[in-house]
Structure 1
Amino acid sequence: MARSFRLALASVVASAALLGGAIVAPSAQAAPSAPTAEALAAKTALENLKPQPTDAASVIDGIAAANKLLETLKITPFTPTVGACTDFTLASAVGGAIAGPNTPLVGDLTFSLLGKEVDLNAVRKGEILYGFVPVGTFNDTGSKKGMQVAWFNVNTFQGSIGEPMDGLGETIVKAVTKRVAETGIPGAEILVKDGLAKIADAVPSNGVRGGIVETGSGTVLSAIYGTIKKGDATCFFFPSLGIATAK
């Protein structure tokens, strides 16, 4: 699927290029700046976060399955974590990250055409896609807001708290559709959206979350935390901690 999808995208882009479609070259990355107050707050928050204790007997099997899903998507798992729910239960989970250029389940969607680089990846250079997989049954019929990312780039001294997450499948689809729209290829959005819909179907919803963050290149300290609905209850997940290297 991944190979045929990449070939289809290449054909669409190549056709538009040969017909005279304009392709804009990537812009140069800005020089690192001094850390902002928000970045310093993110760094402080990340330094103060501690992994929360979990009941090993109840999380091993679930965490193994969560890790397997992340690894299938080429997302590197973070530390496992636990969610405290308002129905007096605990839910285990694990987060993870993948740096660009990449598109989960598809691979690198970067093409060189007529001397120009066309990047249709869900995650581009200088960006990180975060994923979060809880164990158990969750309610995804309503809003998928609630999970967030805190990050700090130790090379640029930039960072942020509270970067929002959404459904992982939806995040991938929306990102690639946006990339194609930016190329100005007429009608390509529909072709890509239909293709990615099949890929999104392979990513379970049921509480699985994703978010793309523009971190810039460097080593990025990260924490994924927040809330997910579980029936009539709400689970607050303590931070899943990890380090990712953005190109």
Structure 2
Amino acid sequence: MKVLVPVKRVIDYNVKVRVKADGTGVDLANVKMSMNPFDEIAVEEAIRLKEAGKADEVVVVSIGVKQAQETLRTALAMGADRAILIIAADDVNTDIEPLAVAKLLAKVVEEEQPGLVVAGKQAIDNDMNATGQMLSALLGWSQATFASEVDIDGDKAVVTREVDGGLQTIKVNLPAIVTADLRLNEPRYATLPNIMKAKKKPLDEKTAADYGVDVTPRLEVVKTSEPAVRQAGIKVESVDELVTKLKEAGAI
């Protein structure tokens, strides 16, 4: 079975995000970029399935700017077999919307014929949490979102999902779309020998036009702003004053 894993290039989660002075978006100048953490978990899970003998090949795909090839090389260094880069934008500030990404992934799935697609549940830059579900709808495949455990049982996938009330275990028919949650696994670090090997692994470059998909944005970002600054607290002199303040605030 072949496993396809979409990965996205985002601002590194350790970086403090800055908004441009004119409010037109996030400042990406000289900012460290890396693989979306949820996608990293998805790559790790695909590699573990291969190591367990339940998958034959792991293919990673990224959609965006040419610089995303660095992200794909990271996935290859982790243990993926080959990569596909779909260049859909020239400007690093352009974010390809989930529907366009899902349409492009659907075309890749038609070409590659994987038995399973494992994706991150969301990207940390826009928090859309929509691509996996849209891809499932376009393909007519089963879906299991927010996965904290995945097991392949013949022609079915047994997935434990994180839900508001706790955990839910479901069994879905393959082929299927699975989106990874934080507790699914702990991604491995790429070793130096594997980083060197990744440079020789296949990485195909294509464009959105090659697949006949229009990636023109349907949404317009009107304004981007920093979160409101938290107001300073106050000190109280006694328990009675604390109770009074809490009552005034409507807390009790």
TM-score tier (shorter) = under 0.3
Please identify which structure carries the higher strand content.
1
TM (norm. structure 1) is: 0.25
TM (norm. structure 2) is: 0.24
